Amino acid sequence: MTKSRVVAKRPPLAEVTNKNNTLKTIYAQEIASTSSYVEETTTAQTSSLKVTKPKRTQISTRITVLKKKLKSLNIANEK
């Protein structure tokens, strides 16, 4: 009869806080040339730990919004 031991793997970049027996995980990814990443911190009970990936915000949509604002400001300044 052989015994097999299963060792639970620890998630990357994890900090265990003993206060409420919760596990905090912070995921940050490199900033790509076309998009920026928003860093998300998730706090969950160790029994129900879910890993969430950072949300992706497109810079191109942000640029068009800023261009429209700038155009409206220029029109306001000319009057």
Q: pLDDT at residue 72 above 70?
A: yes
| Total-model pTM | 0.23
Q: Is 60 helix (H, G, I), strand (E, B) or coil?
A: helix
Residues 42, 16: Cα–Cα separation, whole Å: 12
Segments in the chain forming alpha helices (H): 59-78
pLDDT, position 34: 44
Q: Of 20, 28, 25, which is closest to residue 43 (Cα–Cα)?
A: 25
Whether 53 has a pLDDT exceeding 60, the answer reads: yes
pLDDT in tens, 28-43: 444 444 444 455 555 6
Per-domain boundaries in the chain: 14-78
| pLDDT score for 27 | 41
Residue 44 has pLDDT above 60, yes or no: no
HSE (CB half, 13 Å, CA atoms) of 4? Answer: 2
